[in-house]
Amino acid sequence: MLTHVSDRLTSRFPDVPAQRVTDVVVSTYHQFDGARIRDFVEILVERDAADRLVRGSA
């Protein structure tokens, strides 16, 4: 799952190093570790990670 998110975000943010994108995705994913409902975690991770990359707060 994380590979797909990283791949999509790397395509959306070609000026950001791929490793940085992956690091942001993994970090964001861990924010959802305690989530009881896991169905939408991939979507939430992608959205939140993209927001972090746009803001440069990754």
Segments forming the whole domain that contains residue 50: 2-55
| Domains identified in the chain, total number | 1
User: pTM of the entire structure?
Assistant: 0.90
Task: Give CA angle at 19 (16, 20), nearest 5°.
Answer: 50
Give the pLDDT confidence score for residue 58 in this predicted structure: 56
Give the pLDDT confidence score for residue 56 in this predicted structure: 87
Environment class of residue 49 by beta-carbon count within 10 Å: exposed (0-12), middle (13-18) or buried (19+)?
buried
Give the pLDDT confidence score for residue 1 in this predicted structure: 84
In tens, the pLDDT along 36-51 reads: 999 999 999 999 999 9
In tens, the pLDDT along 1-58 reads: 899 999 999 999 999 999 999 999 999 999 999 999 999 999 999 999 999 999 985 5
